[in-house]
């Protein structure tokens, strides 16, 4: 199957610093893939590179032709305290019909909020409005960078449940960045563990058992994997550290100043 997006030997540098080194990564239609990794490990950078917002220092990113991407960035360059209604926000940057706006809000469980000021939305409602806006493009892939930051556990769980519903309804692929390992792991087909490079990759079960993952996140994470989305699927597909090229010197020194 042709991937929607593929990074091939992708390295990203900011000045002298290599932020991502030799990343190989693909996402296929309909998959839910989660990128996990410590702070500063390059998760947002990878997402931005996949979308075309970061130039490759080495390697490349291939995107399916005409790919429709629904992107919810980690930081929104809009002040939520600006006087702006949800309806108006949904029309940025491209005007949408009342009907489309209503349908998008209904789909994300925040129907009837059209005339509400952004500043008066709860954190959870705001995330759902962001998701509604991303869905307006009828994306083939939805990319969400830490969408539940600041939400409590029930709101986080409800949001991921919604993502799964959206995926089921639209069959779009979903690429998530998250720190919510417990919830996300259970809702992912595949997990990529990043730390300047791909440390390990595979099903939640494979990644949870990978020494590289455990070294980063500790051993107390075992309980996080009680609910695997496809417990019996594809475990053979991507063994732990499939993308570890054995270049250990490089990996270990990755975060050292160049």
Ligand X SMILES: Nc1ncnc2c1ncn2[C@@H]1O[C@H](COP(=O)(O)OP(=O)(O)OP(=O)(O)O)[C@@H](O)[C@H]1O
Binds ligand X (CB under 6 A): choice among 6, 10, 18, 44: 44
# residues near ligand X by CB under 6 A? 10
Q: In the complex, what is the shortest distance from the CB of residue 20 to ligand X, in angstroms, rounded to a whole number?
A: 8
First to last CA, the chain: 38
**Residue with smaller CB distance to ligand X, 37 or 139:** 37
Q: Pick the binder of ligand X from 5, 6, 19, 241 (CB under 6 A).
A: 19
| Residue 33, helix vs strand vs coil | strand
CB of residue 110 to ligand X, shortest distance in Å = 26
Binding flag, residue 133, ligand X (CB under 6 A): no
Q: Which of 22, 43, 107, 133 touches ligand X by CB under 6 A?
A: 43
Which of 42, 139 has the CB closer to ligand X? 42
Q: One symbol per residue from 66 to 85: x for binding ligand X (CB under 6 A), - otherwise; what is it?
A: --------------------
CB of 135 to ligand X, least distance (A): 23
Q: Output 193 or 206, the one with its CB closest to ligand X.
A: 193
d(CA 253, CA 106): 48
Which two tokens mark 232?
């019996």
- Binds ligand X by CB under 6 A, chosen from 6, 33, 42, 127: 42
Instruction: Tell me whether residue 42 or residue 70 sits nearer to ligand X (CB atom).
Output: 42
Please state, as a whole number, how many other Cβ atoms lie within 10 Å of the Cβ of residue 141: 25
Q: Compare residues 39 and 65 and give the one whose CB is closer to ligand X.
A: 39
Does position 2 interact with ligand X (CB under 6 A)? The reply is no
Q: How far is the CB of 146 from ligand X (least distance, A)?
A: 6
Written as six digits, the tokens of 194 are 């990043």
Phi-psi region of 159 (alpha: psi -120 to 50; beta: other; left: phi over 0): alpha
Indicate the residue among 11 and 91 with the shorter CB distance to ligand X: 11
Compute the distance between CA of residue 246 and CA of residue 253 in angstroms, rounded to an integer: 13
Nearest CA to 201 among 213, 193, 189? 193
Q: Pairing mode, if any, of strands 17-27 and 58-63?
A: unpaired
Say which residue the tokens 């998008």 belong to: 104
Two structure tokens written together for 95: 């005007």
Q: Does 37 bind ligand X (CB under 6 A)?
A: yes
Nearest to 197 by CA among 20, 25, 10: 20
Residue 248: count other Cβ atoms within 10 Å of its Cβ.
Answer: 9
The packing angle between helices 153-170 and 123-135, to 10°, is 10
CA dihedral 130, 132, 136, 140 (to 10 degrees): 90
Q: Which stretch binds ligand X (CB under 6 A): 37-45, 58-66, 124-132, 199-207?
A: 37-45
Return the number of the residue (15 or 83) whose C-beta is nearest ligand X: 15
Q: In the complex, what is the shortest distance from the CB of residue 255 to ligand X, in angstroms, rounded to a whole number?
A: 8
Which stretches of the chain bind ligand X, using CB under 6 A? 14, 19, 37, 39-45
């Amino acid at each position: 199957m042709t991937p929607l997006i593929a990074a091939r030997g992708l390295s990203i540098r900011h000045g002298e610093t290599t932020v991502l080194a030799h990343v190989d990564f693909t996402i296929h239609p309909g998959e839910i893939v989660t990128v996990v990794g410590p702070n500063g490990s390059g998760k947002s950078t990878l997402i931005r590179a996949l979308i075309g917002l970061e130039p490759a220092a080495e390697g490349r990113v291939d995107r399916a032709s005409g790919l429709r991407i629904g992107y919810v960035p980690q930081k929104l360059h809009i002040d939520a305290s600006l006087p702006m209604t949800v309806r108006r926000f949904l029309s940025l940057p491209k005007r949408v019909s009342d009907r489309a706006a209503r349908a998008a809000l209904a789909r994300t469980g925040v129907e009837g909020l059209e005339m509400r000021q952004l500043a008066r939305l709860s954190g959870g409602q705001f995330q759902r409005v962001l998701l509604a806006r991303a869905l307006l493009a009828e994306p083939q892939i939805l990319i969400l960078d830490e969408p539940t930051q600041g939400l409590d556990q029930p709101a986080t769980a409800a949001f991921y449940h919604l993502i799964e519903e959206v995926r089921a309804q639209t069959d779009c692929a979903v690429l998530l960045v998250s720190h919510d390992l417990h919830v996300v792991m259970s809702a992912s087909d595949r997990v990529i563990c990043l730390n300047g490079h791909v440390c390990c990759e595979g099903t939640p079960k494979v990644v949870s058992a990978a020494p590289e993952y455990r070294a980063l996140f500790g051993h107390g994470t075992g309980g996080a994997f009680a609910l695997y989305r496809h417990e019996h699927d594809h475990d053979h597909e991507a063994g732990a550290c499939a993308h570890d090229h054995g270049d250990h010197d490089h990996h270990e020194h990755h975060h050292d100043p160049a």
